[in-house]
Copies of this chain bind each other. A is one copy, B any other.
Amino acid sequence: MSPEAPPAARQARTQQERRERTRSALLDATVECLVDLGYSGTTVHEICRRAGVSRGAQQHHFTTKAELMAAAVEHLFQRLRDEVSGSLQAPPGPERVHEAIDLLWRGFSGELSTAALELWVAARTDDELRRSMLPVDRALGRSTLEIYRDAAGVDVPDEKLETLYWLTVNLTRGLALDAMIGGDPARRARLLDEWKAIAAAAYHDVGRPGPRSGRPTP
Chain A residues with CB under 8 Å of chain B are: 36-41, 114, 117-118, 120-126, 130, 133-134, 137, 163, 166-167, 169-175, 177-178, 180-182, 187, 190-191, 194-195, 198, 201-202, 205, 207-213
Flag if A38 contacts B125 (CB, 8 Å): yes
Choose one: B122, B177, B190, B194; the contact of A177 (CB below 8 Å). Answer: B177
Dominant SS at the A interface? Answer: helix
Q: Which residues of B contact A134 (CB under 8 A)?
A: 181-182
Q: Which residues of B contact A209 (CB under 8 A)?
A: 209-212
Flag if A195 contacts B166 (CB, 8 Å): no
Chain copies in complex? 2
Flag if A121 contacts B123 (CB, 8 Å): no
Flag if B181 contacts A163 (CB, 8 Å): no
Q: Which residues of B contact A133 (CB under 8 A)?
A: 181
Flag if B174 contacts A191 (CB, 8 Å): no
Flag if B125 contacts A181 (CB, 8 Å): no
